[in-house]
Structure 1
Amino acid sequence: MPNTNWLWFRVFANLGLKKNGGKFSQERLDADIQHLETFYRGDGWSNDGPEGMHQMDYYSSSFAIHFLQLLYSKLAGEEDPERAAEFRKRAQMAALDLAHYYDEEGRAIPFGRSVGYRFAMVSFWGALAYADVELPAPLTWGMVKGIVMRHLRWWQTQHDMWSPSGTLTIGYSYPNMYMAENYNSPGSPYWACLAFICLAVPETHPFWTSKEENHWDVIPKVKELKHPGHIMSNLGGHCMLLSSGQACSYPMKGTHAKYGAFAYSSAYGYSVPPGLFTLEQYALASQLGLSDDGGEYWKTRRLSESSLTSRGDGDNKTPVLVSLWSPFPDVHIKTYLVPPTASHPNWHLRAHHIRAEGREVATADGSFAISNQRAADGRYLDAYDPAACEGTRPRLIGNYDLATPEAWASGEEGAFAVSKGAVGIRALEGAGGGRTATLVNADPNSNLMESRTTIPTLQGTVAKGASVWYVSGIYAKPSGDGVKREEYLSGWEAVPEIPAWLKKEMEQQ
């Protein structure tokens, strides 16, 4: 058995045999749970694996560990009451963190592997009700019901996820084999049915009798999560997490994109590489790529040392993620991730201190990916048209004419794309950074949510032996209920300043 959450499956195989008079191994059942306990890290969070790795995704909650701990507490609670009570307690603690992964429109933040299980992302909440857990304040059963029902309703708007025969496909919002893992099969998407654990909850339970409520009325808009190494935010029209330090413990397709990107959004999803040649195939959404061969092959953050800290003075302190990573043995990067603020809700910041000790490197810093289709005819976006509130700036040229001057702008001007909302990126370090802005026409099927996307990107070059600072402001304002098209770029000109604490650190290094 893999040394992961899979060990829970053997626990339940033995438990099922035991409950039904079959041959089972109590010794194996107990040993597996004892080993799974070594995955626990504190405050309700378990790692999907042993000491020495850092992987806390939906397997830590809805897909497996919390979900199965809650089922165990319900099904084996009478014979193992102490452990059942502990599992319920952990779920109570985790619930206040996990509520941050779901936005008001019902979307969850795609992060990590197996997101093709789709609405299984909310199974944790139904399991809370099934296991008779008392909710921690300020959460109510109306809020839990709202998370589940809004999520299921949102998935029913994703019409392309079905095959012509009416079955779920491998993919996310549409069929997509590029995002698949090597353990996926045609039946894998039906792990989504974990969400239906709520149907085992009696109709008299407050999960069913309560009116749906919005949990965002009572939980913080920005919160740091110590154990997964995330900063969560719900500002600017979407839920977003900033992440550092996580990595899958074994080779996995697109692992750097599933765990190593800087930001993950409930509105825009992440992008995986459909090929390994030039930026169009690497599709570096919310990633910094570096190339030492003129732009054919790119390396991004995968393994990193990370710390969750705070910066600023007094009441102006803000949570910050700091990571150290080396895409090449002689190129070292320190990255700071700073969440949105109430004054600039559509912007988050990332700063990179790059030391290219042994080689010259090209750099490409990407914003979120956004749909690259015109509303009228589905063709690629054209130059931005203020009347239609759609298009890109600078102009999106495509994959073949990148030398065209109109495809580029200065880093300070930045680049943006407007279709289903707006995304963009600007260089805040000033003209001294020497970066330019363009649109990367990502290859089809690289993004989870949209089959054709474009990625506003800042590009630059760091000379061998040089040490430079790049500070990127990333803009995002998704479409949604109550958001008018003419408002998509309403915050684009309100560029945030580099925080004083960051300026000071830039001067000292």
Structure 2
Amino acid sequence: MMQTMKASTTIAINPLKTREDLVSALEQLTDPLRPLYSRGGARLAIGGTGASYPAVTAEMEGFSRVLWGLVPLLMGGGESGLWDTVLDGIRHGTDPAHEEYWGEVQDYDQRLVEMAVFGFALAAIPGQIWSPLTQKEQEQLYSWLNQINSHPCYDCNWLFFNVLVNVGFRRIGRPYDAEQLENNLKRMDDFYLGDGWYSDGINGHSDYYVPFAIHYYALLYAKLMEQEDPERSQVFKERARLFATEFLGWFAPDGSALPYGRSLTYRFAQAAFWGALVYAGVEGFPVGVVKGLVLRNLRWWFSQPIFDAGGILTIGYTYPNLVMAENYNAPGSPYWALKTFLPLALSAEHPFWKEEELPLPDIPAVIVQKPAHLVIVREPASGHVAAFNSGHLYTNEHTHTSAKYEKFVYSTGFGFSVPRSEWGLSQGAFDSMLALSESGDNLYRVRRRNMESRIVDNVLHSVWKPWTNVEVRTWIVAGLPWHIRIHRIETGRPLDAAEGGFALGQEAGVEQQIGLTTAAVSTAWGISGVKGLIGYEKAELIWPNANTNLLHPRTVLPTLTTFLEPGIHWLASAVYGDPSGDSCGGIIEQLPESILKVTFDKDIIKVLTSSEAEFIIKRE
């Protein structure tokens, strides 16, 4: 079984293969929380950092998020020593006369988010969460939750919170808002893009909120309401089946998944969709493959230093990191990751536990996912997965939105970086981006939203304007370990330009190779390099500020730079990334295969795409 190591920030796993192992993992994730519950049990005070909502709301959030793991445990016949505390917390948190009352909610309140798991629990385990309460306590819980029918939620995945609460009310025989329930479910159809993809609201992004929120809640609904609403339940299951074939490409053989988008501090919630797929009984996807996806992702995460010395999940990605966090990430927020423990709702006799864990099936080397604006490229030898990004026409304006949604490529092997500020290249940490600054200002702008965005095979094209009188047309020829970037820049002001490659984790014994317009570096974490093809004057290594990268606290970043007078300029580069490589010696001198498929003539650039079609870029 697992053992918590108090002197470390990782959890040892031995071997996390059986249902009993997963139960033990949940116990070790939740046991350190016991002394942190308030006297009345209604609040969970995990840490001292702040979020956009008050500390008392954050403590209520911490309380609720633990239930995403405990409810499936009880559904599957298990027991938790925390459950009596949970029931006391519900009694006191919903009692207006108690000092730990969770309070009257407002429009778009964070507490509306946290109500969803209560709705799920009322529908799934009424005997454990509803029946133990007195009539007065039941009335107080119902009244507190029913506030969600009087206050609007954001027009995105939040609408499902209301759905789950009303499903819970219906299951226990209490009045529910059937009209609002139906309207919210219909609104989800407006977010559907086809081929299993949703956007997180109209003009929203297609990121992890598709699998670990929209599909997850839809599959809960499909299972809980398959008798009462069979047609819609079947639609939700079919959409999830289609999405599964697409989402499979986001996972690497070692269990890691693409770091991309917001809310990445939810960590192993990356795999929550797969458990929901099995829970809802979606057919057509091998259960052994799903089991492998869930367990490998958990193993990978539990090998990272994501816990503090007391065994508490921290805010961050592979290490504690507030720099990358959202404004809504409170100390208890990471426990949303317990949604991945939904398989515990399955009995020990379910095929998920009986069948052997299977590796990833054969996945195409190049997968075009137009609804997500991505081209997924896989390198079989290294297991490296990269998502090349054509950019978006809209922005959600969350923290570091450019870094999380507008880089040219996202990688399981290199992660991505967020800026500490826009002052200089080291603070900006502009990996996989073209950063532009008015000459001499040292304040850089990057792609934030696009005027155009499209994909043709493995060629991605976007048009973006960092200033009103600066237009950038970008083409990315996706590939691994090399890919090509081409930019046409029409500028009405003098600019300093910097093109960043992959940010590489630093270790002792950094090896580097620098030429006039070439730079490569290797460490224990692999090889990263850039090669100027057109327009660049200099190559150098940038040493970004600490804690800017999601995977590594300290990184080194090969970068190409140049100066641009007002006018029209063409820039082109070849970018190399291999997280399994051990030496950069000679890498830059190699002629990458992708360059053989891109011909730079005087008036045109010819690209041979992944489907062997010829793509022409006119050099105006």
| Alignment-derived partner of residue 25 in structure 1 | 177
Structural RMSD (CA): 1.9
In the TM superposition, residue 165 of structure 1 has moved relative to its aligned partner by: 1.9
**Structure-2 residue corresponding to 1:147:** 293
Contact 2:461 2:476 survives alignment (8 Å): yes
Q: Determine if the alignment matches structure 1 residue 121 to structure 2 residue 270.
A: yes
Alignment of 1:57-68 (within 5 A): 57-61=207-211, 63-68=212-217
What is the deviation of 1:435? 2.3
Name the CA shift for 1:175/1:214 in 2 (closer, same or farther; >3 Å). Answer: same
1:369 corresponding residue in structure 2: 503
Match of 1:495 in 2: 591
Aligned counterpart for 1:393 among listed residues 499, 513, 521 = 513
Checking the alignment, whether the CA contact within 8 Å between 2:519 and 2:541 is kept in structure 1 is no
Pair 1:462-2:561 in alignment: no
Q: What is the match of residue 156 of structure 1?
A: 302
Q: Distance in 2 between matches of 1:489 and 1:84?
A: 56
Q: Which residue of 1 aligns with 2:165?
A: 13
Change in 2 beyond 3 A, CA 1:434/1:59: closer
Which residue does 1:324 correspond to in 2? 463
Q: Which residue of 1 aligns with 2:422?
A: 276
Identify if the C-alpha distance between structure 1 residues 9 and 83 changes in structure 2 by more than 3 Å, giving closer, same or farther.
same
2:507 and 2:523 in contact (8 A); partners too? no
Task: State how 1:307-386 maps to structure 2 within 5 Å.
Answer: 307-310=453-456, 318-340=457-479, 345-356=480-491, 358-374=492-508
What is residue 241 of structure 1 aligned with on the other side?
387
Aligned position for 2:10: none
SS for the counterpart of 1:471 is: strand
Residue 499 of structure 2 contacts residue 560 of structure 2 at CA under 8 Å; is this kept in 1?
yes
Q: Distance in 2 between matches of 1:334 and 1:448?
A: 28
In the TM superposition, residue 183 of structure 1 has moved relative to its aligned partner by 1.3
The 3-state SS of whatever aligns with 1:428 is: strand
What SS is found at the alignment partner of 2:297?
helix
Counterpart position of 2:399: 253
Task: Give the conservation status (yes or no) of the 8 Å contact 2:512–2:522.
Answer: yes
In the alignment of these two chains, the number of paired residues is 451
Within the alignment, does 1:436 sit opposite 2:538 as a pair? yes
Tell me the amino acid that sits aligned with residue 426 of structure 1.
K
Contact 1:469 1:506 in 2 (8 A): no
- Cα distance, 1:293 vs structure 2: 4.0
Q: Choose from 568, 572, 575 the match for 1:474.
A: 575
Give how far 1:418 is off. Answer: 2.9
The structure with the largest alpha-carbon Rg is: 2
Deviation (angstroms), 1:350: 1.4
Does structure 1 retain, via aligned residues, the 8 Å contact 2:502–2:529? Answer: yes
Q: 1:406 — aligned with what?
A: none
> Which range moved further: 252-261 or 204-213?
204-213
Identify the residue that residue 34 of structure 1 maps to in structure 2. Answer: 186
Write the distance in 1 (CA, Å) between the matches of 2:347 and 2:546. Answer: 45
Q: Deviations over 1:140-171 (max 9, x none)?
A: 2222222111111111110x211222110010
Q: Is the 8 A contact 2:394 2:449 kept in 1?
A: no
Residues 234, 240 of structure 1: 8 Å contact kept: yes
Task: Name the structure 1 match of 2:353.
Answer: 208
1:427 to 2:532 alignment: yes
- In the alignment, is the contact (CA less than 8 A) between 2:394 and 2:450 conserved in 1? no
Report the AA paired with residue 528 of structure 2: V
1:112 aligns with 2:264: no
Label 1:491 to 1:198 Cα distance change in 2 as closer, same or farther (>3 A): farther
- Offset at residue 295 of structure 1 (A): 4.8
In the alignment, the residues of structure 1 paired with residue 291 and residue 539 of structure 2 have an alpha-carbon distance, to the nearest angstrom, of 44
Which position in structure 2 is the counterpart of 1:97? 246
Asked if 1 retains the 8 angstrom alpha-carbon contact of 2:166 and 2:177, the reply is yes
Instruction: Give the one of 55, 60, 65 matched to 2:205.
Output: 55
**Aligned 8 A contact 1:360 1:462 in 2:** yes
2:439 maps to 1:290: no
2:485, 2:347 → 1: CA distance?
47
Change (3 A) 1:471 1:206: farther
Counterpart in the other structure of 2:369: 225
CA distance in 1: counterparts of 2:245 and 2:275, whole angstroms: 15
- The answer to whether the Cα contact below 8 Å between 1:417 and 1:454 also exists between their aligned partners in 2 is no
Which amino acid in the other structure matches residue 424 of structure 1? Answer: G
**1:180-219 residue pairs with structure 2 within 5 A?**
180-215=325-360, 217-219=361-363
**Alignment match, 1:399:** none
1:7 Cα deviation from its structure 2 partner: 1.0
1:32-90 Cα deviation digits (max 9, x unpaired): 1112221111111110011xx241100011x2001111111001111111100000010
- What is the CA–CA distance in structure 2 between the aligned matches of 1:442 and 1:227, rounded to whole Å? 32
TM-score by length of 2: 0.70
Q: Counterparts of 1:103 and 1:438 in 2: how far apart (Å)?
A: 30
What is the CA-CA distance between 1:190 and the residue it aligns to? Answer: 0.4
Determine what percentage of the aligned residue pairs are the same residue. 38
Q: Which amino acid aligns with 1:347?
A: W
Greater percentage in helix: 2
Q: Give the aligned residue type for 1:59.
A: Y
Q: Does the Cα contact within 8 Å between 2:422 and 2:445 map onto a contact in 1?
A: no
Which residue number in structure 2 is paired with residue 446 of structure 1? Answer: 548
Instruction: Provide, for residues 225-280 of structure 1, a one-character-per-residue CA deviation record: whole Å limited to 9, x for no partner.
Output: 12111100111621110012237644222110000001000111111111231111
Q: Cα distance 1:434–1:145, how it changes in 2: closer, same or farther (>3 A)?
A: same
How far residue 489 of structure 1 moved from its aligned partner, in angstroms, is 5.6
Specify the code of the residue in structure 2 equivalent to 1:478.
P
2:131 paired residue number: none
Query: Using the alignment, how far apart are the partners of 2:450 and 2:475 within structure 1?
Result: 12
Per the TM alignment, residue 494 of structure 1 is displaced from its structure 2 partner at its CA by: 2.5
Tell me the secondary structure at the aligned position of residue 530 of structure 2: strand
Q: Classify the secondary structure of the residue corresponding to 2:209.
A: helix
C-alpha distance in structure 1 between counterparts of 2:591 and 2:489, whole Å: 23
Structure 1 pair 434–43 and aligned structure 2 pair: CA distance change class (3 A):
closer
Are 2:453 and 2:463, in contact at CA under 8 Å, matched by a contact in 1? Answer: no
Q: Secondary structure at the match of 2:293?
A: helix
Instruction: Check 1:248–1:417 CA distance in 2 against 1; reply closer, same or farther (3 A cut).
Output: farther
Structure 1 residue 207, shift from structure 2 partner: 2.4
How far apart are the structure 1 equivalents of 2:296 and 2:356? 12
Structure 2 segments unaligned to the other structure (5+ residues): 1-152, 607-615
1: CA distance between counterparts of 2:218 and 2:353? Answer: 22
Task: State whether residues 531 and 575 of structure 2, in contact with CA within 8 Å, keep that contact through their aligned partners in structure 1.
Answer: yes
- Show CA shifts across 1:389-431 (max 9, x none): x42233xxxxxxxxxxxxxx311x33334331111111122xx
Counterpart-to-counterpart distance in 2, 1:74 and 1:507: 53
CA 1:248–1:187: 2 relative to 1, 3 Å: farther
Please list every run of 5 or more consecutive structure 1 residues that lacks an aligned counterpart in the other structure. 311-317, 375-380, 382-389, 395-408
Counterpart of 2:551 in structure 1: which amino acid?
M
Aligned to 1:265: 411
Kept in 2, the 8 Å contact 1:248–1:255? The answer is: no
Letter in 1 for 2:511: G
1:13 Cα deviation after fit = 1.2
CA distance in 2, matches of 1:306, 1:77: 41
Task: Give the alignment's TM-score, normalised by structure 1.
Answer: 0.85
Query: What is the letter of the counterpart of residue 185 of structure 1?
Result: A
